[in-house]
Structures are given as C-alpha cells and as structure tokens.
C-alpha cells in the first residue's frame, strides 16, 4: 500500500501541472498546484499505521477535540466500515473557558458538532495551514450565537481557535485532503469540553453549561457505541443524532433548528446500545457524587489551556485550564521532544492561582494586573488571486480566508511585601511556593527568608521574545521526527479532469 501511495504522490503534481497548462494557466489553479504546504504527502509512519490498522489512505476521517485534555484525535474508517483511532495530537493552545462559544469576541473556542468541506480548507492561511470549523452551525444560529473564522490552524497562537504546531497541522491537513480525494464530501469535527466520562461529568456537575454538555454527550455516546459518524440534525434548538424516517412515514423527516421536531425514530440497535451505555454512566456518576467527588473550580480568569508537553518547554509555562496524564509533571516532560516547532511569541495560559490558595475565604495575597491593552493581533494578508481554490470557494460561501487569532503577552504581577524571617509561613509564602511549581528551572536559593523591608513594586518581567527555533518554509513531519532529505510533492492520486469537483478546481 505504501509503494502505491508514493507512486500516486509522484504522479499527482505532474498530472496537475499538465492539466493546468491545457486549461490556460489560471492563477487560482497554479496557486493550488504549486502550494508546497498544502500538498505535503502523508508521512510514511502514518501510512504504516494505516496498513497496520487496515485503513486505506483515502478512506473517510473524523476529528474529535477535547479542551481539558488539550488533545485532538484523528479517527479513520477501516475496511470493515467502522472508525478507529489513527493518531492523537496534543493541542498547543486553545483559548477561552470550558463551554460553548456564544458571541463574537468572547475568545471562546467552539464546542459541538461541525462539518468540514473542501471550501473550508485554507492553504493560504496566515497560520501556516488551517481549516474553518464551520461555527456557527444551525444550532448556534438558532440560539443567536455569533462569531466567525474559528479555525484549527498552526502557529500555536489562539484567540478562539484550536492551535497546533505547524508540523502537526501539516499532517492533519494532509489527512483531510486525502479523504476528500477519496470521495468524502465533508468530515465531521466533534469539539468537547472534556472526555465525556462519568468522572468528568461528576467533577463539573455544578457548571451552568451542563445541560448543553449532556445534550452533546448523546452524540459522543452514539459514536462510542457504533464507531460510526453520527448523523446530526437540529430541531427545537437542540441536537438530534441518527434520526431516521418513522415506519409509517412516506418521506424522510425535514429538520429546522428553530422549528418543531418532525416525526422521527432512532434505529433500535443504536438506541438500545446508547441506553445501556447511558445507564452504566449514570450509575457510575451517582456513585461518584455520593462519595463526595470534588467539584471543579470555575474559570478564575485563566484564558484557555495548553497540553503539558508544550507547557514544559516554555519559560513560566502553565497548562491553564487543561490537565495532563496523572503522575507527570512539567519538570518530567522538560526533556521530552516537542511535537513540532514552538514559536517564540507563544502566550501560555496563566497558572491557576486560586487552586494553590489555602481556601477561597482568605484575602488574596497576589494582585494580578489586567491584560495588556496593546495586545498584538495577527491577521492574514488579503489574497486576491493567490488565495487558491479553497479560500476563494470559501469566500463565495461567505467564509473568509483570514484567521482571527491573536497573542497576548502574559501580564506583569505585583508581589506582596516580604514577611520577617521569624514569622510562621503565611498564605503568601504558601502561594508563592505553589506558583513556583509551574516555573521550570526556578532557583529555589532565591526563596531564602529575608529581613523585613518596605514594600516596593516589582518591575514587570520583560516577555521572552526568543524564538524556540527558526521556522523553515516546510515543516518536517511530527511522525517522522526529522525532515527527509527530499520532499515528495503531493499525495493525491491521478484523476480525470471532471471527477470530484475537478480536484477542488485545480484542474478543469
């Protein structure tokens, strides 16, 4: 299978170039055919994993995102028709809080079920490569929610998006591209606040978003029991999963997100399996609550999260609202290899200072300043004729090609006055000790008790602007570990000029 894929990868650019010459060298066609980033082949290690898992290169994919775990999963259909997990990618940065996006500018990364078609793929992204999540969907619009250009992209920078490293998004983009070449019209993206387990549902049982989370958990459960992409519809301002025509109905049900639900049924084999799973989950949930499982703290002003593998590589790095695997610390991960290039301008989330405080009733001992007013906002440059077919088609459908993402440097902090050496440990000293756990390489010798002095404001630390590494034009595969000596352009099979939208318009 790998050898056949490599042959297709070699022949695809030749076929594209020849077809473009015959078609008259249209600017958009040339842009797509010569876009090296968008045509990077699927890495050999992923191809080998597909062979091992009985998957075809161009079989359909499905993506799941989890904020709390800061992970993105790529699932791929096997030859038996079910989906299996191909690879899990740590998310470099996501922004906002746990919960759905509600309005433009709230910095929230969306949650729910979305559909990604070829027009949402952006090879000309300002953030290396990207695809639009499709927010708002019909459910979001029915509730009056607003927002635009919410992406999954590279550059590890987020203001309402899910940001990966450039190397990671190159792999994910190539998997989506190949699924389209194989005939998949759109792949499903499922975005969750956390893995919808009884433990997490118990921890967040007092969160005001719980009714929404219980609703999308139904879709999560449908996928868990069937390993098939759930069919998603909307009516009465709610999600409906795997709805089918009623036995006595003469036509398929027609759904409208704002209207009354039509008559429909859920196939009994799916419905019974989901009921059994929900019963097990509910029993476990009740047991956890009765045992007094602690309730998770609400957002304390922390903007989003970051996977531990990235937080361990950044000065004063923190996972924010994300959590990592138990038994691992940032210090333990400091020597591990990061899955891609971390840019020097990355803004890690702030540490959860409230979690380190002895109790919520005590007076705060550290004042945190408001975010800097001069936050840098990065946008894509206008692309008139060089945007490629994906971006042009997206604009025709009302989707822009620019990613609305920004980075904000961490705000300075003002520290409390130093306590006398003979004074017992205070809340301030305990908090300082807890915060230093988030700072790799902290010099503990500087924490020795000092004589009482008058309180002085501390000069804010200058943001670290050093680049983690010089970013190349093309990113090496995170699956291969290092870049190959030569890059094979394209990973697409040779097709007739009139097949599947003519290769997204690259040939006519």
Catalytic site positions: 153, 161
Is residue 311 within 8 A of residue 268, CB to CB? The reply is no
* Burial of 167 from C-beta contacts in 10 A (0-12 / 13-18 / 19+): buried
Strands of the sheet with 162-163, listed across from one edge: 93-94, 162-163, 151-153, 130-132, 121-122
Return the beta strands (E) in 384-452 as ranges.
Answer: 405-407, 413-414
CA torsion angle 266 270 275 278 (round to 10): -110
- In whole angstroms, give the CA distance from residue 90 to residue 66: 10
Q: What span, in angstroms and rounded, lies between the C-alpha atoms of 218 and 216?
A: 5
Name the burial class of residue 146, with classes exposed (0-12), middle (13-18) and buried (19+) by CB atoms within 10 angstroms of its CB.
Answer: middle
Q: 3-state secondary structure string, 1-56?
A: CHHHHHHHHHHHHHHHHHHHHHHCCCHHHHHHHCCCCCCCCCCHHHHHHHHHCCEC
CA 78 to chain CA centroid, nearest Å: 24
Distances in whole angstroms, Cα of residue 361 to Cα of each of 103, 105, 167, 413? 33, 32, 45, 21
Residue 312 makes CB contacts below 8 A (sequence gap 6+) with 330, 331, 332, 333, 334, 336, 440
Query: Which residues lie below 8 Å from residue 252, measured CB to CB, with a gap of 6+?
Result: 245
Residues 6 or more apart whose CB falls under 8 angstroms from that of 187 comprise 60, 61, 62, 63, 115, 116, 176, 179
Quick one: which of 62, 63, 47 has its CA closest to 8?
A: 47
């Amino acid at each position: 299978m790998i050898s056949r894929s490599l042959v297709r990868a070699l022949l695809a650019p030749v076929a594209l170039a020849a077809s473009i010459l015959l078609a008259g060298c249209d600017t958009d066609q040339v842009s797509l055919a010569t876009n090296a980033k968008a045509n990077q082949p699927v890495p050999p290690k992923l191809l080998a994993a597909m062979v091992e898992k009985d998957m075809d290169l161009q079989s359909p994919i499905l993506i799941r995102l989890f904020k709390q775990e800061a992970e993105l999963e790529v699932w791929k259909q096997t030859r038996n028709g079910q989906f299996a997990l191909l690879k899990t990618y740590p998310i470099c940065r996501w922004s906002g809080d746990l919960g759905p996006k509600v309005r433009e500018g709230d910095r929230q990364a969306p949650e729910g079920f979305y559909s990604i078609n070829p027009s949402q793929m952006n090879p000309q992204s300002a953030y290396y490569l990207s695809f639009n999540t499709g927010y708002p969907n019909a459910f979001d619009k029915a509730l009056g929610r607003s927002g635009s250009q919410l992406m999954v992209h590279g550059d590890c920078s987020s203001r309402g998006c899910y940001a990966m490293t450039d190397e990671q998004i190159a792999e994910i983009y190539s998997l989506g591209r190949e699924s389209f070449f194989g005939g998949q019209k759109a792949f499903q993206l499922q975005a969750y606040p956390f893995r919808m387990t009884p433990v997490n549902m118990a921890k967040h049982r007092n969160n005001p978003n719980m009714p929404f989370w219980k609703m999308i958990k139904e879709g999560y459960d449908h996928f868990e029991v069937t390993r098939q992409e759930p069919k998603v519809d909307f009516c009465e301002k709610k999600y409906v999963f795997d709805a089918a025509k009623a036995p006595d109905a003469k036509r398929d049900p027609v759904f409208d997100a704002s209207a009354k639900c039509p008559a429909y049924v859920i196939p009994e084999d799916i419905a019974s399996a989901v009921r059994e799973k929900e019963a097990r989950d509910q029993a476990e949930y009740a047991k956890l609550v009765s045992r007094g499982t602690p309730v998770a703290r609400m957002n304390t002003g922390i903007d989003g999260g970051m996977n531990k593998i990235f937080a361990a590589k950044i000065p004063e790095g923190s996972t924010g609202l994300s959590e990592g695997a138990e038994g691992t610390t940032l210090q333990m991960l400091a020597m591990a290899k990061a899955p891609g290039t971390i840019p020097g301008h990355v803004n890690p989330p702030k540490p959860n200072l409230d979690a380190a405080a002895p109790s919520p009733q005590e007076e705060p001992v550290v004042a945190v300043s408001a975010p800097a007013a001069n936050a840098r906002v990065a946008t894509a440059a206008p692309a008139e004729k060089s945007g490629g077919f994906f971006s042009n088609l997206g604009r025709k459908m009302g989707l822009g090609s620019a990613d609305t993402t920004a980075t904000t440097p961490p705000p300075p902090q003002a520290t409390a006055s130093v306590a006398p050496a003979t004074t017992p440990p205070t809340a301030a000293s305990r908090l300082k000790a807890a915060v230093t756990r988030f700072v790799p390489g902290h010099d503990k010798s500087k924490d020795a008790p000092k004589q009482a002095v008058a309180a002085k404001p501390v000069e804010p630390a200058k943001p670290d602007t050093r680049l983690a590494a010089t970013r190349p034009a093309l990113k090496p595969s995170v699956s291969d570990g290092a870049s190959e000596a030569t890059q094979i352009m394209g990973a697409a099979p040779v097709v007739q000029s009139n097949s599947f939208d003519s290769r997204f318009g690259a040939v006519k």
